Amino acid sequence: MGFFYFLGRKKFYIHLGIILLLIVILFFGVLKSLDIYTQHGKVYLVPDFYGKTVDQLIDNHYDEYFDLIVIDSVYDKRNEKGAILMQNPKAGSKVKQGRHIYLTVVAQQPEKTMMPNLKNLSLRQAIVTLEMNKLKVGHLNYVDYFARNAVIDQLIDDETIEEGTEINTGTEIDLVVGKGKIDVKVNLPLLIAKKPKEAVKALHYASLNKGKEYFMDVDDSSRARVYKTEPDISKTDLVELGKEINIWYRSDESFDFDSYLLKFTSDTLDVDSASFENNAKINNEF
């Protein structure tokens, strides 16, 4: 009876109301605290920081909105030292205030590497070794030598570069390569629709050189694809070792390369397949 008597008293309902009110206040207080902590509903668009320096971002108070973190640096002679090359998240991303923005900037000094010893390697081995050491293949100079595609010398500006010499990464190394005991010709690889770097690499593996390059309608080099070559693969089967191949590029944004490739006959594609096998055989003859 005492319990039901207590339920009938006004004081009980007053205390119950106070408790419920405190629960509601506490509940909304927790939600509000979470909103403040997580910046609920407040997002910022990440600007495009490409080409700017971290100091410029700080001067413009971007560090008040984002946590700017430099995670890597690469050498790029085309851009100002310290300039931002890449960012994560990308420009246009929606993020909360205080979000980490990871930046890759242009190094103050070019990265260095040691010149490897390429002498007596096959051309294919030399190309792979240069790539592993972040170096580039320059011009292939073919000379009379009994071992075909054997590297005889390694040059920078027509001067021998000795093994162990410290040089900048990305440096082009010219190679003096043997012709072999008899004169041979190699198949011209199918370069149509390849990117510039892919085309040059294919030429080197085929014992050929890049000649002149022409960019016909290309504003963005990343969109450039091979449109035609001189000699033309549809008219020329075999070319001399070390021959320079001129290349014309068009943008894949303004030209349909998929349809263009269909214009090449199966015979042309067979020539390219034979080129790979023939050139692989020639490169391995050492």
What is the reported pTM? 0.65
DSSP assignment, residue 285?
-
Run of H or E residues at 106? strand 99-106
Residue 276 banded pLDDT, cuts 50, 70, 90:
very low
3-state secondary structure of 254: coil
Q: Is the pLDDT of residue 210 over 90?
A: yes
**Which domains does the chain carry?**
44-106 (3.30.10.20), 110-183 (3.30.10.20), 184-286 (3.30.10.20)
Residue 205 banded pLDDT, cuts 50, 70, 90:
very high
For 7, the token pair is: 């339920």
pLDDT digits (tens, 9 = 90+) for 90-102: 999 999 888 999 9
pLDDT digits (tens, 9 = 90+) for 184-203: 899 999 999 999 999 999 99
Rounded Cα–Cα distance for residues 196 and 114 (Å): 26
Q: Beta partners for 20?
A: none
Average pLDDT over residues 223-230: 95
